[in-house]
Amino acid sequence: MTNPRQLAFIALRDVHKGAYADVALDRVLQKVSLPDCDRRLVTELVYGSVRRQRTLDTLINQFAKKKSHQQPQDLRTILHLGFYQLRYQERIPASAAVNTTVQLAKENGFSGLTGFVNGLLRQYLRQAEGQGSRGAEEKDSLLLPQSPVPNPQFPVPNPQSPIPNPQSPVPHFDPLQLPENPVERLGILHSFPDWIIQVWLEQLGLIETEQLCEWMNQSPTIDLRINPLRTSIEEVETALQSADVLVRRIPHLPQALRFIGNTGSIQKLPGFKEGWWTVQDASAQLVGHLLDPQPGEVVIDACAAPGGKTTHITELMGDKGKIWACDRTPSRLRKLQENSQRLNLQSIQIYTGDSRHSKQFQNTADRVLLDAPCSGLGTMHRHADARWRQTPESVRELSVLQQELLTHTSTFVKSGGVLVYATCTLHPAENEEVISAFLADSPDWQIESPNGVELPDFAHSRPQGWFKVWPHRQDMDGFFMVRLRKTNNSE
């Protein structure tokens, strides 16, 4: 089976049963051999439908007599795919979007409801007349009366209404009906839970919250970090350009390149097997520079797997010193070991265990990185289903875990040493509040400005001393990071 839309449907069906979107997608793609263009289409349909779930459900609620949650789950998934293509995929002709969605219904147990599916999507198109660049002839062909199969359980929207004169000016109209309340309006329009919108509004205001929503719904870029122990940024640029892969540099990050456009398989690109570079977002690279590890030091990465920051620390130290990579998940540590071997790094030592309970590291480290487990609300463009998996309750639970980790890992640091706390979330309960609570209970710790460390200008913008990377401003993952110093008079 190589039908991209059927493959997307199978993956989405697994997601709605509880699977992570990336796992469900990989599972489907591993079983088939597809051209790159079809793989990209499957990926776009799966991630896009998951990301835009609330908006797509609202359209079902608006156009069907039965609400989205009342529809059979598989039919709801099929309608998501249809509406997603019509609303967000300008390159897919409307006729193809409708016809393939009707065919999906027919092939997946809903042959009696093809008229319902057809009528629902055509009703959306009729209201959206004039939106986007779809040709008038194509739209008119879709709006011709058809003979749907009647089903009293699923009334078919009336497909027959006046067809606009294709020669007359066509108005721009969005059929999606939005409430007045700004939280609900942004939540429905951009497909986020209300509570996430509220958290952003309190920090950013209305205009910037909308900009952040739009950024988070973009397809993610891929950044790489070159390994200066094996190559130079110029050599990597030349090798990639020779393979017709475009990259650009990222200001203030001496090891960073960003891919422009499609790359194909990452593992097949020049320099990957040779350990010249690894994939790591620009924001995550900032963390290593803020820690500023020096050759010969003892450094502990307290939540290390899968190892992007651990290997960066090792590179910054010239692979000289001792770097402890701690994590409680052996399978994720194996990925770290594979990566460090590919990069040919020798200084990393593995510790399997929960950093909240390990006692062997007390007062042993010059520097500690606590890249704490978090809700990931700064990386939702990469993890399509994260916005639906996290809740205010899960954030509260994570903040407790983060405080426990910070309290214990701070004991790893020698007197006069440094600890960097970092997360890839933008929720104050996991960031500012964790640090404020820790400092209130730890008089021997203070926030330290990273003097002498070259960081982008925006990294110095917080008077409190912590840094927050806002994706819509800096065009990189959302991150929080702060550098703490243990004073010399500590016991």
Q: Which amino acid makes up residue 472?
A: H
Phi and psi, residue 12, nearest 5°: -65, -35
Active site residues: 424
What is the C-alpha to C-alpha distance for residues 79 and 110, in angstroms, rounded to an integer? 12
Closest CA to 480 of 403, 371, 360, 399: 371
Query: Residue 103 class from Cβ within 10 Å (0-12 exposed, 13-18 middle, 19+ buried)?
Result: middle
Q: Which helix (H) or strand (E) holds 262?
A: none
Q: Do 284 and 477 form a contact (C-beta atoms < 8 A)?
A: yes
Phi and psi, residue 277, nearest 5°: -160, 165
What is the C-alpha to C-alpha distance for residues 325 and 361, in angstroms, rounded to an integer? 12
What is the C-alpha to C-alpha distance for residues 403 and 373, in angstroms, rounded to an integer? 11
Q: Which helix (H) or strand (E) holds 347?
A: none
* 345 CB-side CA count, 13 A: 36
What is the C-alpha to C-alpha distance for residues 446 and 453, in angstroms, rounded to an integer? 18
Task: Print burial letters for 56-87: b (CB count within 10 Å at least 16), e (below 16).
Answer: bbbbbbbbbebebeebeebbbbbbbbbbbbbb
Phi and psi, residue 395, nearest 5°: -65, -40
What is the C-alpha to C-alpha distance for residues 296 and 263, in angstroms, rounded to an integer? 37
Q: Do 308 and 284 form a contact (C-beta atoms < 8 A)?
A: yes
What is the C-alpha to C-alpha distance for residues 483 and 466, in angstroms, rounded to an integer? 7
Q: Say how many C-beta atoms besides its own lie within 10 A of residue 5's C-beta.
A: 22
Question: Tell me, what DSSP letter sits at residue 132?
Answer: T
